Amino acid sequence: MTRRLSIFMAISLLLASCEEEGKPSYIPNPAVDISVLSVGLHDACVEIQSINASQTRYLCAEKDEVRNVEAEAIYSAGTPVEKPRFTIDGLEEKSEYHIFAVAVNSEGRYSAVKRDTLVTPNDPSNDIVADEPLDKEMDENGLYRWERGRDPLPEFADMALCYGGHSARNPRVWDKNRFRKTAVYTDQNGQDHWFFDSMLMLEIWDDNYKVTYSIANDGKSSSRKHYWTGFLDYWFDSRYGFQALDDCIAEAAAQIGTPPSPRYVVVSIPDPVYFENYSKGVSGKDKNTVYWGEIDGTPMDFSRMEHRLQAYRWFIDQVRARFAQKEYRYIQLLGFYIISESLSMQGGWRYEYKQHEELIPQVADYCHSVNEGLYWIPYSVSDDDPGHNRALQNWRQFGFDLTILQPNYYWDNKDWDVTCDYINRYDMGMEFEFEGSHGYGTSILGNSDAAKRNKARFTEYMDNARKYGIYGKKPIVLYTGTNALYELAVSEETSDIDLYHEFGEFIVNSPLKY
């Protein structure tokens, strides 16, 4: 889109500057371009750029609804474009729309009308379709090929978080090139090394930030079954996601040899939230609990713990079955991730709507029954929530195979003594944290004062991991927002390159890898 728009604007300027010999110069005609960036069930993200224009307007209508597509008619019926990139809401699912754009200059001259088309997807929850059979390649014990003989469960030295699924994320997909910077580290001498040995695939929002995959106190809607399916469709796409990761590993293996173990993947499970809108539910305004969808013809009522457990198990089995059908060569499903960063124990705040102490152990039992792991990455030790800290101290009671603690020092002045004491005392892993261009004032990229401060903060993670005896003994998990590790790896800024290599050597030389 950026390249096409640059060419379009350059040509527009060139044509506008041309004059016939002997004639006076004139005000150039306006021009406009439009592109649909992403489409959800009920909204679309659109970009409209104009040049030589005093105002630009757009008109979105269902196919064939607009009869007069002349510039003046579109402008008269259209809505002003206030910023180049924006969201159009209120669309109907499974519908085709045309979006028209026109610009006008100070002389009242119109640009040519530009048009683009979008088609909203169907909401699968409206279709009554039986769930696909999940027994392909299972043995008599209900295990798939990679799950057999797992005793004990494989362990990992390090893991990278990979966010994807939400249509508003940029970049939108995980392809081979993007995965390469997470799977392979190229040192300063040009030598390639296997980088992270496992990855966690997760998402926290959908539908242009209106839907959340976890409990939300800010008014967002809880995710329904079709969002869970859409998340799986994203990662199991034949062109991107898991397939791209497997292809990436295959290409790297041809160059540097087969990795010492499969590259493990962990998949986050959306929360089956008690209320359709948690904020409204706990306040008594909207207490709907039957919203998610059906399993085997039975509508799920999330006020019932057994239905929430059933949704967890349904998702776990969907992932396992899809993995079996794909027959990947180099990646292997290691288990699942509980997305809530704080879990309630009995007596905790609004425990009756969560019941984590009773529910999560049952999820863990099911994972372990099929030789899959269950993992948790809670936020840092709390200064004012003893219930959260109690869950940290007793994380094994939930049935987790490993808990990794977030220091959160990158954004806040958390106490390293307290954080590292918890990691060592309660046998946790440690999360490393930094952000890139998507961070608001928290980007590690570049040479600004803020970036220098953020680089120094991130360096403290490595320093304290060594100081407190965590490095080489406890697993390390990396959070980098949407795409910061890739951005750091391809940066041409010297300070970025230096930090990338410092951290790359830190990971590939960890004694825990050997």
Domain hosting residue 310, numbered range: 156-513
pLDDT at 125: 40
pLDDT at 26: 63
Is residue 51 a contact partner of residue 39, using CB atoms and an 8 Å limit? no
Confidence (pTM): 0.76
Helix (H, G, I), strand (E, B) or coil at 31: strand
The CA-based angle 438-440-444, given to 5 degrees, is 70
Q: Where are the alpha helices (DSSP H) in 286-377?
A: 305-326, 356-369
- What average pLDDT is seen over the chain? 90
Question: In terms of domains, do 101 and 230 share one?
Answer: no
In a domain? residue 181: yes
Cβ–Cβ under 8 Å, residues 266 and 376: no
In the predicted structure, residue 10 carries a pLDDT above the cut 70: no
Predicted confidence band of residue 7 (pLDDT cuts 50, 70, 90) = very low
pLDDT of 464 higher than 60: yes
The CATH number of the domain where 58 resides is what?
2.60.40.10
243 within domain boundaries = yes
Contacts of 450-453 with CB under 8 Å at 24 or more apart are 451/495, 452/495
- Does the pLDDT of residue 277 top 60, yes or no? yes
**Assigned domain for 163 exists:** yes
- Residue 410, pLDDT > 80, answer yes
162 and 90 in a common domain: no
Are residues 414 and 273 located together in one domain of the fold?
yes
Those residues whose C-beta lies under 8 Å from the C-beta of residue 307, and which sit 6 or more positions away, are 272, 300, 301
142 occurs within a structural domain: no
Residues 354 and 437 both lie in one domain: yes
Does residue 514 carry a pLDDT above 50? yes
Q: Are residues 178 and 34 in the same domain?
A: no
Give the torsion through C-alpha atoms of 192, 195, 198, 199, to 10 deg. Answer: -100
pLDDT digit string, tens, across residues 39-68: 767 778 788 999 999 999 999 999 878 888
pLDDT tens digit string along 443-452?
Answer: 999 999 999 9
pLDDT of residue 479: 98
Summarize the confidence of residues 74-79 as an average pLDDT. Answer: 92
> Parallel, antiparallel, or unpaired: how do β-strands 263-269 and 198-202 relate?
parallel
Decide if 106 is inside a domain.
yes
* pLDDT value, residue 21: 47
Query: Is residue 149 classed exposed, middle or buried when 0-12, 13-18 and 19+ CB atoms within 10 A define those classes?
Result: exposed
Residue that terminates a domain, selected from 97, 119, 141: 119
Q: What tokens were used for 342?
A: 């704080």
Residue 344 lies in a domain: yes
Per-residue confidence band for 132, with pLDDT thresholds at 50, 70 and 90: low
Question: Is there a domain that residue 147 lies in?
Answer: no
Q: Give the lowest-confidence range in 20-29, 439-448, 476-485.
A: 20-29
Pair of tokens at residue 13: 């300027």
In the chain, how many domains are there? 2
Task: For residues 85 and 193, state if they share a domain.
Answer: no
Same domain, yes or no: 114 and 196: no
* Per-residue pLDDT at 484 exceeds 60: yes
Looking at the structure, do residues 294 and 419 belong to the same domain, yes or no? yes
In a domain, 134, yes or no: no
Q: What is the CATH number of the domain that holds 292?
A: 3.20.20
Name the band, by pLDDT with cuts 50, 70 and 90, for residue 136: low
Same domain, 51 and 169: no
pLDDT at residue 293 above 60? yes
CA distance from start to end of the chain: 45
Q: What are phi and psi of 263, to 5 degrees?
A: -85, 115
309 and 166 in one domain? yes
- Residue 443: DSSP 8-state: B
Integer CA distances (angstroms), 299 to 118, 212, 361, in order:
32, 20, 24
Residue 128, SS3 per DSSP: coil
Q: Residue 130: is its pLDDT beyond 50?
A: no
Same domain, 88 and 228: no
Write down which residue in 66, 92, 119 finishes a domain: 119
Confidence of residue 4 (pLDDT cuts 50, 70, 90): very low
Instruction: Identify whether residues 78 and 202 lie together within a single domain.
Output: no
Residue with the bigger pLDDT between 95 and 224: it is 224
- Residue (of 510, 416, 509, 514) closest to 461 by Cα position: 416
State the pLDDT at residue 131. Answer: 54
Contacts for 295-302: CB closer than 8 Å, 24+ residues apart: 295/131, 296/130, 296/131, 297/130, 300/225, 300/272, 302/272, 302/273, 302/274, 302/275
Give the integer Cα–Cα distance in Å for 241 and 236.
6
pLDDT at 36: 80
Cβ neighbours of residue 286 under 8 Å, at least 6 residues apart?
275, 276, 277, 280
Q: Examine the fold and report which residue of 90, 119, 148 is the final residue of a domain before the chain moves on.
A: 119
